[in-house]
Amino acid sequence: MNLKNLSKLARITGTGSYLPEKILSNADLEKMVETTDEWIVSRTGMKERRIAADDEFTSHMATKAATIALQDANIQADQIDAILVATLTPDHIFPSTAALLERNLGAKNAAALDIQAACTGYLYALSIAKAWIESGTYSNILVVAAEKLSTIVDYKDRGTCILFGDGASAAVVSNKGAGLAIQHTCLGADGEQSELLKLPAGGSRLPASKETVEQGLHYLQMEGREVYKHAVRRMENAAKECLDKCGLSDSDISWLVPHQANIRIMEAIAKRFGIPMERVFQTIHKYGNTSASAIAIALDELLKEHPVSTGDNLLLFAFGAGLTWGASLLTQIEE
Ligand code: UT7
């Protein structure tokens, strides 16, 4: 699609992130479980992650990130028509965190709902925002990804506790203005593999009880090695499909913005696209895996650290529980 045609598409006009102050370093983890800084860095690329305060919830982080994104887009809260919050750690099962965010922002004209697609949630939310904007249903949508994963991590399980952190990021998606046009978003899911990554209890299948708590069933469980294999294949395929749908090739990509789950996964996919790691935006060393928030935070930091020029193409891709996966191609446009 040429740049002129892109002017009809939904675009991201502002972004903002919030990361809690408290840092959990690899040295801290060495004191909690049998692990080493060397193992964590070489197997994952992670050095630190952020942990929210006890009285700081997903909706608080979402509100802080959204406030910055609204300022960045130069838009008032009452101009927002819909709020989408991608999270697997909502404040409550219901009401939605999106509704709490609507209240906190005073976004009184907005519809509000949560999106549950695990680490792929931000891309699912972007895709829905694009459809609503381009159908003419809404003009301005706030897309937020926010996670307090520290509440569902078992800090006695070295296989998972080294991986995850807390944080939030937001984007305003609008029908006009300069920004990143959402050219295409490819999404997928495979429920046959739902056992690989899950939070067993707390839903209707296994409601909270003394037994579920005693058995640690309110913590996330992951078969890391299996998930790894699916992650590489699914993200690579989604990213390739997305590029194809946009009529672009590997050499058109300005930046890869991958899910921040493992540096080795990012390296494997970058290699297959022939993209040097300098063009693969990374926050994994600072924040670990923040699930739905991970690519949202990476996109925001990329835009702040390396302002993009008209025509630059950003290829985002993510993967998570479900299994779910997706990719999105964003192109900077003038208006
Ligand atoms: O965001 C959702 C998507 N998530 C992902 O995409 C994550 C995908 N998976 C991964 O990134 C990797 O599988 C992990 C980083 C989770 C694990 O790395 P791995 O290279 O696959 O390790 P492994 O699970 O195969 O474990 C290798 C060894 C095992 O010991 P043995 O059985 O070989 O003696 C583990 O017990 O490493 C051991 N191990 C650890 N050792 C030190 C596992 N965790 C640790 C640890 N410190 N923290």
pLDDT, tens digit, 9 for 90 and up, residues 120-145: 999 999 999 999 999 999 999 999 99
The DSSP secondary-structure symbol of 283 reads -
| Residue 166, C-beta contacts closer than 8 angstroms, at least 6 positions apart | 19, 20, 49, 50, 51, 52, 61, 147, 148, 149, 150, 290
H/E run at residue 28: helix 26-32
The DSSP secondary-structure symbol of 250 reads G
Give the pLDDT confidence score for residue 1 in this predicted structure. 67
Give yes or no: residues 149 and 42 share one domain. Answer: yes
- 178, 204, 236: which is the final residue of a domain? 178
| Cis amide leading into 95 (omega within 30) | yes
- Is the overall model pTM greater than 0.85, yes or no? yes
The verdict on residue 325 lying in a domain is: yes
The verdict on residue 228 lying in a domain is: yes
Q: Look up the domain containing 95 and give its range.
A: 3-178
The verdict on residue 288 lying in a domain is: no
Residue 102's identity, in one-letter code, is: E
The number of the ligand 1 atom at minimal distance from the alpha carbon of 294 is: 1
Gap between the Cα atoms of 233 and 182, Å rounded: 23
Give yes or no: residues 171 and 191 share one domain. Answer: no
Gap between the Cα atoms of 275 and 298, Å rounded: 17
| Residue 55, C-beta contacts closer than 8 angstroms, at least 6 positions apart | none
The verdict on residue 289 lying in a domain is: no
Give yes or no: residues 136 and 123 share one domain. Answer: yes
Give yes or no: residues 187 and 152 share one domain. Answer: no
Give the pLDDT confidence score for residue 243 in this predicted structure. 96
Query: Ligand 1 centroid to 64 CA: how many Å?
Result: 33
Beta pairing, strands 82-86 & 255-258:
unpaired
Distances (CA, A) of 137 to 7, 113, 129, 178, 310: 17, 16, 10, 20, 27
The verdict on residue 76 lying in a domain is: yes
Residue 279's identity, in one-letter code, is: R
pLDDT in tens, 206-247: 999 999 999 999 999 999 999 999 999 999 999 999 999 999
Cβ of 289 below 6 Å from ligand 1: yes
Which parts of the chain have pLDDT scores under 70?
1
Gap between the Cα atoms of 18 and 89, Å rounded: 16
Paired strand residues for 17: 169
Give yes or no: residues 37 and 17 share one domain. Answer: yes
Give the pLDDT confidence score for residue 292 in this predicted structure. 98
Query: Ligand 1 centroid to 159 CA: how many Å?
Result: 6
Give yes or no: residues 43 and 149 share one domain. Answer: yes
From 43, 259, 317, the mutation candidate for ligand 1 (largest count of ligand atoms within 8 A of CB) is 43
Work out the number of other CB atoms within 10 angstroms of the CB of residue 327.
28
Give the pLDDT confidence score for residue 4 in this predicted structure. 73
The verdict on residue 35 lying in a domain is: yes
Query: Ligand 1 centroid to 161 CA: how many Å?
Result: 11
The verdict on residue 125 lying in a domain is: yes
Note whether 259 and 234 are within 8 A (CB).
Answer: no
Give yes or no: residues 257 and 167 share one domain. Answer: no
Give yes or no: residues 96 and 150 share one domain. Answer: yes
Number of independent structural domains in the chain:
2
Give the pLDDT confidence score for residue 122 in this predicted structure. 98
The verdict on residue 250 lying in a domain is: yes
Give yes or no: residues 109 and 214 share one domain. Answer: no
Give yes or no: residues 166 and 315 share one domain. Answer: no
- 178, 205, 237: which is the final residue of a domain? 178
SS3 190: coil
Residue identifier of the C-alpha nearest atom 38 of ligand 1: 159
Note whether 60 and 147 are within 8 A (CB).
Answer: no
Give yes or no: residues 50 and 124 share one domain. Answer: yes
Residue 119 annotated among the catalytic residues of the structure:
yes
The number of the ligand 1 atom at minimal distance from the alpha carbon of 227 is: 8
Give yes or no: residues 102 and 139 share one domain. Answer: yes
Residue identifier of the C-alpha nearest atom 28 of ligand 1: 159
From 158, 228, 284, the mutation candidate for ligand 1 (largest count of ligand atoms within 8 A of CB) is 228
- The DSSP string of 91-137 is SSSSS-HHHHHHHHHT-TT-EEEEE--GGGHHHHHHHHHHHHHHTTS
Note whether 89 and 152 are within 8 A (CB).
Answer: yes
Cβ of 230 below 6 Å from ligand 1: no
- 178, 213, 239: which is the final residue of a domain? 178
The number of the ligand 1 atom at minimal distance from the alpha carbon of 262 is: 11
Cβ of 280 below 6 Å from ligand 1: no
Give the pLDDT confidence score for residue 167 in this predicted structure. 98
CATH of the domain at 230: 3.40.47.10
Cβ of 155 below 6 Å from ligand 1: no
Query: Ligand 1 centroid to 261 CA: how many Å?
Result: 12
